Structure 1
Amino acid sequence: MATTPRNWIAIASAEHARIGRDHRPMGFMQVGHGKGAPLKRIAPGDRVAYYSPATVFGGTDKLQSFVSIGVVQPGEPYTAEMGNGFVPWRRDVKYAKAAEAAEAPIAPLIEAFEFVEDPKRWGAKFRFGLFEVSAHDMRLIADAMRADVNSLDL
């Protein structure tokens, strides 16, 4: 019995999200500074959009944009050596190519999102690093990014 894909927003600096998006032969996602437990909540076929508060980790530039969007691929979370003893957990993701999905600011979407309970405090959920959203909210993100919705099957 097939399950309905779930929709997720993951949070990372744009620099880190772009590394996962542009990795070849397959893109990947990491969350929570490489923690494995959050990735176990995600299943193949789920959709994920990366929101970046800043361009670089710890940055203060207030980029506040969605930088990638894609579909989680078959397989379990796995670890990958990134150097200096850092071995984060990952999941494979087929992202819409950068040329097919423009980075999009969050500001115009805040009042339309179902997950935002108070537009004045819209950033509260983003502190979790990964959270589930409705198909409606994922479609808003995909449309703002001009992503190929066929590749996301929304």
Structure 2
Amino acid sequence: MTQFWVGVVSGAHVQRGVAGGFAQVCHGKAHELRRMRPGDGFIYYSPRTEMMKAGRVLQQFTAIGYVTSAAPYQVQMTPAFRPFRVNVAYIPSTPAHIQRLKSHLEWTSATKSWGLVLRRGHFKISEADFLRIAAAMGARLDEKKLEKEARTPELQGSQ
């Protein structure tokens, strides 16, 4: 069954991921990425342009796509840093500010402390929220692809 995810990283990291066709979350840890399967929807949310409270405030959904790799893989960025990634086919889109959407999303309208969810760095959202965010980003999703993937037996058995 197709699932939908949000990864929280800086705008600069989103640009690298989109350019390279990958997603990396939670400082490169594999655990969160292992929950994702091929065909799952993925959205990046960027609180700022740079990490660690540097850069300007964004508070935007900054990229959207579908997971394409079956499992996380590790890359060596420096001798001391070997993060895990999954491949993502990104869809052309424009950033969407969370303030425009928060009263319409299930995970933000359900509680006043919705921002705490973002601190997790990676979390599941509903298909309805994924579609609302995609629409706000102007992403043209293939609805038939979504329906087909939701019924694909090999994806359903890999939860």
Task: Report the TM-score when normalising by structure 1.
Answer: 0.88
- Which of 84, 93, 107 is 2:99 aligned to? 107
- Secondary structure of 1:64 counterpart: strand
Aligned pairs (5 A) from 1:80-119: 80-96=75-91, 100-116=92-108, 117-118=110-111
1:90-140 Cα shifts (integer Å, max 9, x gaps): 0011011xxx3011111110011111222x423110010000000010011
Identity percentage over the alignment?
36
CA distance in 2: counterparts of 1:74 and 1:35, whole angstroms: 16
Task: Report the TM-score when normalising by structure 2.
Answer: 0.85
Pairing 1:7–2:4 present: yes
Give the 3 Å change call, closer, same or farther, for CA 104–48 of structure 1 in structure 2.
same
CA distance in 2: counterparts of 1:123 and 1:11, whole angstroms: 11
* Cα drift, residue 84 of structure 1: 4.6
Letter in 1 for 2:101: L
Pairing 1:77–2:69 present: no
Q: Which residue of 2 aligns with 1:53?
A: 47
Q: State the 4+ residue runs in structure 1 displaced beyond 6 angstroms.
A: none
CA distance in 1: counterparts of 2:55 and 2:114, whole angstroms: 18
Give the number of aligned pairs. 144
CA distance in 1: counterparts of 2:23 and 2:94, whole angstroms: 18
